[in-house]
Chain A
Amino acid sequence: MIKFLKSIFEKLIEGTLFLSSTITTLAIVLIIIFLFKEGIGTFNQTPIEDGFSLVVNKNNPINELSAPEIKNIFDQNITNWKTVGGKNDSITLFNLDNIGEFYSDSAIGENFEFLPQCISDYTEKNPGVVAFVSTRYTEKGFTGKILTTPKVKVTEFISQKEWFPTAQPAAQLGVLPLILGTLWVSFGAILIALPLGLSTSIYMAEIASPKIRNILKPLIELLAGIPSVVYGFFGLVVIVPEIQKLFNLPVGETALAGSIVLAIMALPTIITISEDALRTTPKSMKEASLALGANKWQTIYRVVIPYSGSGITAATILGIGRAIGETMAVLMVTGNAAVIPHSFLEPVRTIPATIAAELGEAPQGGLHYKALFALGCILFIITMAINLIVGYISSKKKYNAK
């Protein structure tokens, strides 16, 4: 009986342990569900705020306008309907604030009760008009035409060049500058970190005496342990002003500052993983090379580095992954201008920094909020891909070693 109870107990414990082991999978599934549920919601909405619509004269052949077109019209970059596929007629912007110029107070009504009629009247009289008004003014008896705005498309989301999610009348959701900003900063960081990191790992694995290695190793671990916000702070008070002085720039918050800070942060990842990889080289191989008359350096770059190539690649990719996902440090030093970068000496904005900077201000459930989750989805997909690639590389290596 006791034995039976005991075995039940053991099974129970095993079940608990099993359940615990499923938590990571569960977490990933939940992350995917919650991230994509909100993120995909972006593409079910129009870039125009709920409760507002764009109206034109009823004889205007235009039926819908895209977000960039709306922005260009309201910024007066497009002044003729021909540009967006309509008649050759100039565009008249109608602003509700100026309604007093066209209608007397008595026509509008004391409590603006006749405002809908005024708007209706104005759009009827002016063939080239376009107005951005609340939908409650166009509910009944409206004689103009209400434009439909197409929903945000995935292709537009990725390819459009402007990120201005709070813009009126139409939010501009182009992720391209953010993606490019992220890539610029990350690859800049890898360009700096890779030579430094690989040299350090080779030095630690092959050249340094055990004594020096025992000092270096905990130092590198410490470097990995320092919080990203401290790196960001250091970047903000030291690197940013130095860059500003050195290149004589109006602001020091640039892609370069971000790359330098990220490089320091990616170093521990690159160093520890590639050092581990270098150390897996069998001693017999190294000794065979030395016995053939090769010196240490020849052995390193002809035997050790090729042998641990896949590990070094994995280290590099993981370093890039770390740089792409890093938020706080980048947020603090890159200046966060959502424009397509042209040089390292300009402010840029990365995807994680955008999320961190804007989520607090985005009303929950709105288009902006959902668009930020869509950014999270992009980030998630990128890092997932990186992980799978690294997993593939390291599994391939095992196969070769067999």
Chain B
Amino acid sequence: MIISKKVIQNKNLKEKIAFNIFRIFSAIVVLSLIAILSFITYNGISVINWNFLTQMPEDGMTKGGIYPAIIGTLYLVAGSMIFAIPIGVFSGIYINEYTKDSWYKRFIKLMTNNLAGIPSIVFGLFGMSLFVNTLGFGDSIIAGSLTLGLMVLPVVIRTTEEALKAVDNSFRLASLALGATKLQTIRKVVLPMAFPNIITGIILSIGRVSGETAPILFTVAAYFLPKLPSSIFDQVMALPYHLYVISTSGTNVEASRPIAYGTALVLIGFVLIVNLLANALRRYFGKKVKMN
């Protein structure tokens, strides 16, 4: 009896130790996130004001704002989404609705996964080789957008596929039983139900596109360009690239540090808003779909 009591005590002690280690490690993870966020916020908040967001950079980027970089990033987000959303959603629909469990489905999924695993710098190399040099777009918004769009395509495909998978099959069957065609079923029944999750995925991919630096290094990003682009064949500045250059290779690294903090905070703020928006949408539509 005494021994078994000891055994129990021993194993409960072990459990306690293990669980506390897990708690501490999780706390470290969360704290490091909070540390990064609060450090950037603390140093960047004083820089951000209306002028910072709406003025051109001045004096070798040691003064002035980041307006062209913000606009550039918005252009790139829009450009890449024009490319990635239709193709991504279409191919998600095709994979989930039209292919049976065949070799083709497995093949496409494998290819999508592989594309997702390719490092962003390789996309940069590819974009430079194909869009900038071979197709002759030069360093331009269109070259950068296509590169970014290609990179984010797997995310859109996967989320669309997951969203469609979550729609219960009985809805499809009911619609087909009522005489609707397959396309009508997809358009009128499946897509509306999957819509919130698809939108969430798209919003998250916007977050991803807006922060990527490596693919735009050689396809679009300009070091210092205090004017707005006039066509899709122009170069633009972009927020992530701007942060990179002013924190490592600006003319006066120390003097532009505050601007770097401000840019970092704007980037984080953008990602934060995107995440919150996605979560809110998920929750809002989630309730609605359930109620229906």
Q: Are A376 and B30 in contact (CB under 8 A)?
A: no
Instruction: Please report which residues of chain B, range 13-43, place their CB below 8 angstroms from some CB of chain A when the two chains form the complex.
Output: 14-15, 18-19, 21-26, 28-30, 32-33, 36, 39-40
Whole-angstrom distance from the CB of B162 to the nearest CB of chain A?
12
Q: Are A232 and B244 in contact (CB under 8 A)?
A: yes
Q: Are A17 and B90 in contact (CB under 8 A)?
A: yes
Please, how many angstroms separate the alpha-carbon atoms of A9 and B117 in the complex? 36
A285 within 8 A of B: no
Known contacts A196-B28, A225-B207: does B181 contact A10 (CB below 8 Å)? yes
Please, how many angstroms separate the alpha-carbon atoms of A17 and B114 in the complex? 20
Q: Are B183 and A10 in contact (CB under 8 A)?
A: yes
Q: Are A229 and B213 in contact (CB under 8 A)?
A: yes
A interface majority secondary structure: helix
7 cross-chain CB contacts under 8 A: A20-B86, A196-B28, A202-B22, A207-B22, A229-B267, A379-B119, A387-B114
Q: Are A360 and B134 in contact (CB under 8 A)?
A: no
Please, how many angstroms separate the alpha-carbon atoms of A226 and B69 in the complex? 18
B243 contact from A14, A233, A379, A384, Cβ within 8 A: A233
B interface majority secondary structure: helix
A interface with B by C-beta (< 8 Å): 6, 9-10, 13-14, 16-18, 20-25, 27-28, 30-31, 34-35, 37-38, 195-197, 199-200, 202-204, 207-208, 216, 218-223, 225-234, 236-238, 264, 267, 271, 295-298, 300-301, 318, 321, 324-328, 332, 352, 355-356, 359-360, 364, 372-373, 376, 379-380, 383-384, 386-388, 391
**Total count of chain B residues near the partner, CB < 8 A:** 85
> Max chain B CB contacts within 10 Å: which of A16, A31, A271?
A31
Q: Are B108 and A379 in contact (CB under 8 A)?
A: no
Given contact pairs A219-B30, A391-B113, a sample of 4 additional A-B residue pairs in the complex whose CB atoms are under 8 Å apart: A23-B153, A297-B19, A355-B125, A383-B117
B195 within 8 A of A: no
B74 within 8 A of A: no
Q: Are A21 and B247 in contact (CB under 8 A)?
A: no
B218 within 8 A of A: yes
Q: Are B119 and A230 in contact (CB under 8 A)?
A: no
A236 contact from B30, B32, B36, B247, Cβ within 8 A: B247
